[in-house]
Amino acid sequence: AQSRYASLRDLPAEARCGTRVALHMNAGLIADLPSLAGSGAEGVGLFRTELQFLIRAHVPKRSELVAIYARVLEAAKGKRVAFRTLDIGSDKVLPYMKRVEEPNPAMGWRAIRVGLDKPGILRMQLQALIRAANGRPLVVMFPFVAEMDEFRAARRHLLDEIERERQLGHILPERIEIGAMLETPSLAFAPREFFETADFISIGGNDLKQFFFAADRENETVRRRYDMLNTSYLSFIEQIVSRCAEGGAHLSFCGEDAGRPIEAACLAAMGLRTLSMRPASIGPVKHLIRRISLEGLRDVILGARAEGAVNVRAPVMAWLSAQDI
């Protein structure tokens, strides 16, 4: 499949209407990084940092994390890498962490909630990221932020660590981007100040969709029940796009749906300009985007919605099959 799209690798995901969409890849291991060149991804839109914590019997040492993150940045050769701080807790239990029994782990004590309540590991991870950057740009995003104050507090930890590193005489990142993952519907309704303060926002579509529809992403009985191309969900995405535009926060989308060509095209039609996906999806998504007009697709979606459609998949498929793809 890779070879089928190899000729597209160095071409932009530019639609017929002239709109360009930046395609980034998701990663979580140093071993994923060669795909950055291989897939033609413009950067790493989501680097999940859980794995280095899960595979050990003890909390990784700061020096170990510095070495790993530095290797990631070196392998990225100047392309942007968005490091997501630890999204752990409840279901992803660290062997060395006290287990907390929770009836509903996905909605429990996880991610930034753990980081803010017990900031030791979060701060150590932030120090490691600053040191690994070693003068290069640093991009940090906080997972599962549900309200502005959580983002403020997490951002404060990062700024404090930068100040501490400065006082220690260490080299600081050339510049820093601080962002949040939008994975709970509540954050879309945060005060305007949130969208002005965040440098960027990345929609974690896997979690956002499960909480929007109240349908467990791990539950086989319901996980496919609601479609991303549901008009309520697309309207919600549209609102997020406009709130980010008003506040000046760059918006991206990094859930699995970004790697499905039709879903990706619809996200782009709703205004997303950066999508992050597994490397193998970059070719197929780029192929489709280059063959269509996103304006045309947007008209189809908005037209179907205006007519009261619950889901736009059928009209979108009909329109696509009439295109030269």
Interface residues toward ligand PEP, by CB under 6 A? 46, 48, 87, 183, 204-207, 254-255
Tell the smallest beta-carbon distance from residue 192 to ligand PEP (Å): 24
Amino acid in the structure at residue 6: A
The listed partner (ligand PEP, Mg ion, none) that binds 42, CB under 5 to 8 Å by sort, is: none
The listed partner (Mg ion, ligand PEP, none) that binds 48, CB under 5 to 8 Å by sort, is: ligand PEP
Count helices and strands in the chain by DSSP H and E runs: 14, 9
| Residue window 206-225: x/- pattern of binding to Mg ion, with contact defined by CB under 5 A | -x------------------
Joined together, the tokens standing for residue 80 give 């942007």
Angle (CA) 288-293-298 rounded to 5° is 105
With beta carbons less than 8 A apart as the criterion, state whether 199 and 178 touch. yes
The listed partner (ligand PEP, Mg ion, none) that binds 255, CB under 5 to 8 Å by sort, is: ligand PEP
- CA 225/CA 40 separation, integer angstroms: 33
Amino acid in the structure at residue 47: F
The listed partner (Mg ion, ligand PEP, none) that binds 205, CB under 5 to 8 Å by sort, is: ligand PEP
Q: 79 exposed, middle or buried (CB, 10 Å; 0-12, 13-18, 19+)?
A: middle
Q: Is 60 in the site for Mg ion (CB under 5 A)?
A: no
Nearer to ligand PEP, 51 or 171 (CB): 51
- CA 286/CA 125 separation, integer angstroms: 34
| Residue window 167-206: x/- pattern of binding to Mg ion, with contact defined by CB under 5 A | ----------------x--------------------x--
Tell the smallest beta-carbon distance from residue 237 to ligand PEP (Å): 13
Lookup result for tokens 């991206």: 252
The residues that touch Mg ion, with contacts defined as CB under 5 A, are 183, 204, 207
